[in-house]
Structures are given as C-alpha cells and as structure tokens.
Chains A and B, each alone.
Chain A
Amino acid sequence: MSQADVLWRRAGLGTALRPGLDAAGVRDFLVGYANEPDPLPGPPPLPRIPPGVLPTVLLLGESARWWIGRMAVTQRPLEEWLTLFWHRHFATSAAKVFSPGLMLAQNQTLRTQGGGRFGDLLKALLRDPAMLIWLDLQDNRAGAPNENFARELLELFTVGRGEYSEPDVKALARVLTGWRLSLPGLQAQFDVRRHDAGPARVLELTGELPADRVLDYLAVHPATARRLTGRLWEALAGEPLPPGSEWPALWRRCHGDVLTVVRAMLGSPALLAAPGRVQSPLELYVAALRTLDVRDIGLAQVHRLFALGEVPFLPPSVKGWRQGLEWIHPLGLLDRFALMEDLVARASLESFEGLAVERRADAVAERLRCWPLAAATRRELATHAGSVRRLWTLALCAPDLQVA
C-alpha cells in the first residue's frame, strides 16, 4: 500500500481524489484546500430562534444532513476533516443550544477559522452565540460570574487538567464577562456594563487583561501546545503523541497555526508507521458515501447515526464523543452493518451490474484503492461477486475498513 493512500485514509475522508499523486503531492493537495474552488453552497439559512420543539428537531436533522452531504461531495476533504475535529473538540450540543441556525453558524466558524491560528479560533468562539448559550457565557457577568465557560476553556479546550487551579478559573470567568446575546437576531454583543474590568491573574498572565489577550496567551501556552498537538496526532495516527516529539515546539513557533502543524504531521514518516485510528461510525459512513459517490443523504440514515451515537450537533457531553476502541462493541458493529446495508441498497450500482462476475471484485477493490484489503477479504469478495449489492455490503462492512 502506498504512502499516499495512508494520507487519503487518515486526512482525506477515505477516498483518493487525485489517484496519481505521491505522498508529498497528497499532502500539498490536502493542506492547500483554500486554493481549491468551493462550489458547494454554504449552510442553509435555518432559523436561529427555535420554532417550537418538533420543527426544531426536524431542522436539526436537516442540519446534520446538510453537513454530512457536504462531507460526501467536498473536493476539499481536509477542510471538513478539520471542521469535524473542532466540532469534537468544542463539543457543543444542539440539545441545549436548540437552534439550527446557531449550530450551523458555529459550524461555519469552525470551517472558516479551523485551519488558521488557534488563538483566532478561540476568539471567534468567544463571540459565537451557540457557544455563549452552551457554556452559559451569556449568564456570566460582573458581580455574578458563571464559571462554566472559563472552566471548560481551561480543562478541555486549552491547557488541560493539572495545569491550572481554581483561582485561575475564577479570574478567567471575570475576564470573560460582558458577552451576551442580543435580539432579534441572537447575535453576540459585548456589553461593557456587564464586564468586570478589574485586574486579574490567569496562570502567568497578570494585569488588566482584555479577554482576547488571555485567549491568545492560552492558545500558545506550552501545555496547550502539548495537548492540542496530541489531539491532532491522535486523530490522524490513532496513537498518543510520541515522547520527545517535535510538534508542541512547532505549534509554539508558528503561533498555533493549525495548517502548518497538520502539514508537518502529514509529511512525517511517523504518521505512515502509526497504526491508524478506529473509524468512528460517521467517518466510516462518509468514506462509504464518497466511495459509492452517493450524494443524497436520507434522513433515515441520520437516524441510524443517532442510534450509533454519533450524529453531528449532538455530542453526549462537552467532553465529546467516544474514541478509538470505545467504538468497537457488538451493538456498534451491528448498527454499522445495518447502516452500510441501507446505503448500498440506495446507491446506484449499474456500472458494477454491467461487469462480468469475475471482474467485479477487482472493480470494487479499485474503487477502494486507498484501503489495504487483506488476501482473505479479496477471496471473500471474489466468492460473493454474484450479487453486486452483497459484494458492496461485504466490502463496506469488512474489518479492513474499520481502521484508517
């Protein structure tokens, strides 16, 4: 299997968009997504104010459908890969935000800012209405602080446990006061009357601290550098950051520029040698959609993803979804098989129906070109080529596709 294929699987949403490229070419193509045209429509203009329970639930389903549909057809796969990475990192749930418009607005922020400097992303999220609701930032004001956002910012979004203390949380909460939601459009607005402008001390930073300054500081803090590069590496390679790795230093040198770090990771031999991560249900599904060139996402399949525990916009908690081996359990496999069966039943496979039986297995393997299929898998595919639907279902359910 070629090195280029490893990159397509781990950072390219599972299909080789440019089969002729070598590893360096794939890396450049993936990271250079801003140079690719983006003909896809932006998020649909769904209401920001929830129109009642049932309509909102339906619209959230539509929002998930829109995003998955985008992942299925995008020619800029790393952009969506990063959007999903950040969605998992900042795990904001529609269960509380309950606004399709705001969830999509956050999604777009993650997309447009997700490859730039991490500090800029943090600053954008401080002003993101969905985030303001999710972590009670709009309830945080001078004299009546709400520490939820400050705490998760330190514990989950930046430096991590063990790197800060309670006084830091309290001080940070004060620094972040003043943001609220304004009607009618549910926009974020800074209200200086609600802001606690007194001096504060957050970790090593003291003085009169504007919020943005603290966020920039946290974004390149050494502990953040270790944690965030660790999470990026885990997402790409399926293993923890190797000790002595150079990524945290690189993060700090480039001021937390995400694409710079990702580009370096994609070019590293260590990535090619790493075991790879277990595909989450959504990742498997997206890879299957792209492989079969399916553009139309059924709402029933969004429901299946919900049953599988990984539908966009509904993380189980602010800590995000499961990872790695936690996804592998009997029920999870059953649901994956059902999802793939469904998908294959709806896909149009005439080009395969038209092939002679003895050529079909090779044609399937060709479509799955960036996935290493074991000899045993190829034998089973060859045996079951009589029915195209069975053949494709088997290929997409095979253990070979469960690890990127």
Chain B
Amino acid sequence: MNRREFLRNCALGLTAAALGPALTWEPALAAGDTVLVALHLVGGNDGLNTLIPVLDPLYKKMRPTLALTNVPSLGAEWGLHPALQQLHELPVTWVPGVGRPDHDRSHFRSSDLWQTAGTDHRDGWLGALARRHELASVSVGDGLARALFGGEAKALAFHGETIPELPGDPALVGALRRLYAGRAHDGPVGEALAHSCGQLLTVVGEYRERCAAVKLGESFPDNPTGKRLELVARLLAAGLPPRLFHVAVGDFDTHENQLQRQKDAFRELDASLGAFWREVQRLGMTDRVLVLGYSEFGRRVQENASGGTDHGAGGLAFLLGGKARAGVHGHWDLERLRDGDLAHQVDYRSLYAAVLDRHFRPGAAREVLPGVVAAAGLLE
C-alpha cells in the first residue's frame, strides 16, 4: 500500500472507537529507562577464535591450522579476532567460559535452553520480565524469539529486517478493525480479541510511520545484520516504548572453512555493531542501552577435518554499554577440557541475573530466576 493509503488507515484508527489504554504501548521510553539488546549469534560462535589466549601454548598446539596469530591485542594475555576492528576500540566486556551445566549439542535445544534460562517453561527469560513489568519488546529475526515468550501482550516480531505489514488491503483492514472492535463486550474472549486487534492495527501502523520518519546519523551496512540493527536504532531514535530487544544475526555454525566463514560473519557483525553503537552514542543513550551478545554454544577445541570446528560447550558472551565493565572477565581452560570441550566457569544464568539486577532493577533476578546467583564484577 502507498503512503497516502497508509496514513488514511492510521487516521481511521485514531478516529475509531477507543479500544482501551495503551494504543501505542504507553508508557513511552522515559528518560531513565534502560534498554537491553540481546544479540544472538546464531549457530554456535567459536569463542576461542574470537577472544584469543595469545600466551597459551595449548591453543596453537590444538589448532594447528585454525589458530590465529598476530591478532590485535586486548591486554597482555588476550587478542581479538582481526575482523572485529570496531569492537576492538569499544569498551566491551568479554566473558569467556560461559556455558550451561546441562550440555546439549543441538542448535534448537540449546538455543531454547539459553532463551528460557534452562527452565524449559514456555516463557523466555526476557518474556517473563516483560510480563511481570508490562514491558514492550521487539524481536528481530525469525518471528518472536523464545526469549520473549510470555511478553506477547506487547511484543512485535519482525521476520527479517522489516516491520510487519498489515494486510495490504485498506478495505480489508477497515472491515477487520470494525468487526473486532464490535466484540469488545463479548465476554473475556471477545474483549481479548478486540483489544489485540485494536493494538495491532494501531501499533504496527504507528511503528512503521515513526520509524520511517526518523533520520539516523549513521548509515548502516547493507547486509542482514546491518539492517536488523538499523531497525533497532530506528525504534530507539523514535522514542518508541520497547525496552527489550532480541536480535538474531549471522550464521556462525562453522563446521567447515572456519577461517573464512567466521571472518566474513565478523566483518558483517563488526561493521553493523559499530554503526549501531555510534548511533546510540549520538542519541546520548550509551549508559541506558546494554548489548548482550551470546551464542547457543561454543565449539570444540580441536579442529575437524574440514578446516572447521564442531559443536562444543563453553563459549563466549559479551556486554557493551550500560554499566558493563570493560575488559576480559574469565579465561579459557584448555588444560581441563570436558570430553574435548571447553568447560564453563560462568553459568549463563548468572550472567542473566547480573543483567536483570544491575541493568533493570535490583531484585529482578530473584523474580525471574529464583535461586540463581548473579555473576559478580561484570556490571557496576
């Protein structure tokens, strides 16, 4: 539909009978509100070749062809993958040795467990937070991320890089608007239908409108990661309500040809995240926005026969922004592998707990992850 028809739809929405509160998911993003961008590096990123233990002889020994040398330094003991040039200059918190006690090498299962904090409940860890505190959330990637399940009352999911479209037929949209509004007094189900449809037709329209109107300072790379992070930047710049974002990027599943494939994936990620962070700086939001990068598992230490690595266990997470304390927090233990995999020293749930308590509100971890102790030292 063209812009004129589109605006007409929005006008229809605004003049139609009010359907209850929160038509744009008020409250809008307030001055003190923090924002979390959970960035899922899909496929199981090889943490060991991302944050390199330059002084460890076992590293080169166990990876005769894959070991990276002469890498940009991150202090005496550490180097960073050469393709992460912009991230190298940013105050990133690197957390090697993150993992799960209940190890699973399946992409889907492992991803699910990371996103539900291992509870295997329907709700994701961020969705549980969203539900409790009525936060709006946005999922960029393949539909609504499991991490955000539970927060559907105020969630939008973008399949890929674009804001969802309403059905492209304004007459259809108008008819549906009227029919659903007419159910508002038909018991709890009618009310739910009326409310959801009203929210949908207004929110999606408003989001498209306001994102399109925003002028960003940065230009983002023309690739999927770039477009997805640009979308998040637009939503932030437009001052729209969502405080929780889950963005799926890349394919980091480097079973073969890892040197090339991981480099390409990192080039894309680095350029996109660099542009994103500059935009966040321009908006003056670096203390309120926290990026949490994670992957569903790390990879095996030994190379396989195809110039790559297979699914492993302990991996790498990172934080950027908010109160995150820059530097490397943890280590790779190449001496004490577990069945050929890097063990983890940091349980990923303790990472979540730290984010919940320090970046949202003290006590949030107890609500969402009872019994989990927050990892110390990662956030102020």
Contact = CB atoms under 8 A, between A and B. Distances in A.
A95 to B, nearest CB: 4
Contact of B172 (A318, A377, A393, A403): A393
Contacts of B164: 331, 334, 338
Contact of B152 (A331, A338, A390): A331
Interface string A177-203: 000000000000000000000000000
A347 interface: no
Contact of A317 (B121, B167, B182, B188): B121
B179 A398 contact: yes
A176 B143 CA distance: 39
B156 to A, nearest CB: 6
B375 interface: no
A68 interface: no
Contact of A383 (B122, B142, B175): B175
Interface in B155-176: 155-157, 159, 164, 166-167, 169, 171-172, 175-176
Nearest to B253: A53
B166 to A, nearest CB: 7
Interface in A303-322: 306-309, 314, 316-319, 322
Contacts of A333: 193, 196-197, 200
The size class of the interface chain A forms with chain B is 35 or more
B377 to A, nearest CB: 33
A168 to B, nearest CB: 21
Contacts of B183: 399
A275 interface: yes
A330 B203 contact: yes
25 contacts: A53-B107, A95-B112, A275-B189, A306-B143, A307-B142, A309-B143, A314-B108, A317-B112, A317-B120, A319-B121, A325-B188, A325-B189, A326-B152, A329-B155, A330-B155, A330-B197, A330-B199, A333-B197, A335-B143, A338-B167, A376-B182, A394-B172, A399-B182, A399-B183, A399-B190
B296 to A, nearest CB: 12
Contacts of A376: 178-179, 182
A278 B189 contact: yes
A390 B190 CA distance: 23
Contact of B192 (A53, A319, A328): A328
A376 B122 CA distance: 36
Given A325-B188, A329-B152, A330-B156, A319 B122 contact: yes
B297 interface: no
B8 interface: no
Given A96-B106, A318-B120, A333-B197, A399 B156 contact: no
Nearest to B187: A275
Contacts of B166: 334, 337
B252 interface: no
Interface of B: 106-109, 112, 116, 120-122, 142-144, 146, 149, 152-157, 159, 164, 166-167, 169, 171-172, 175-176, 178-180, 182-183, 187-190, 192-193, 196-197, 199-200, 203-204
B37 to A, nearest CB: 19
B182 A329 contact: no
A393 B156 contact: no
A377 B179 contact: yes
A390 B171 contact: yes
Interface of A: 53, 95-96, 98, 275, 278, 306-309, 314, 316-319, 322, 325-326, 328-335, 337-338, 341, 374, 376-377, 380, 383-384, 390, 393-394, 397-399, 402-403
B95 to A, nearest CB: 26
A318 B122 CA distance: 10
A329 B172 contact: no
Nearest to B180: A399
Given A96-B106, A317-B122, A338-B167, 20 more contacts: A53-B107, A306-B143, A307-B144, A309-B144, A317-B121, A325-B189, A328-B192, A329-B152, A330-B199, A331-B152, A337-B166, A337-B167, A337-B176, A376-B182, A384-B171, A393-B167, A398-B176, A398-B179, A399-B179, A399-B182
A266 B203 CA distance: 41
B307 to A, nearest CB: 18
Most A-side CB within 10 Å, residue of B116, B152, B187 = B152
Contacts of B189: 275, 278, 325, 328, 402-403
A19 B204 CA distance: 41
Nearest to A278: B189
Contact of B200 (A275, A306, A331, A390): A331
B196 A380 contact: no
Contacts of B190: 399
Given A307-B157, A376-B182, A96 B204 contact: no
A394 B176 contact: yes
B157 A341 contact: no
Contacts of A309: 143-144, 149
A402 B190 CA distance: 10
Contacts of A332: 152, 196
Contacts of A334: 164, 166, 200, 204
A53 B108 CA distance: 11
A306 B159 CA distance: 12
Contacts of B107: 53
Contacts of A275: 187, 189
Given A307-B157, A309-B144, A376-B178, A384 B172 contact: yes
Contact of B176 (A308, A318, A326, A397): A397
Contacts of A341: 167
B159 A307 contact: yes
Contacts of A374: 182
A317 B109 CA distance: 10
A-B pairs, 3 with minimum CB distance: A95-B108, A307-B143, A329-B152
B197 to A, nearest CB: 6
B304 to A, nearest CB: 14
Contacts of A326: 152
A95 B183 CA distance: 38
Contacts of A394: 172, 175-176
Contacts of A383: 175
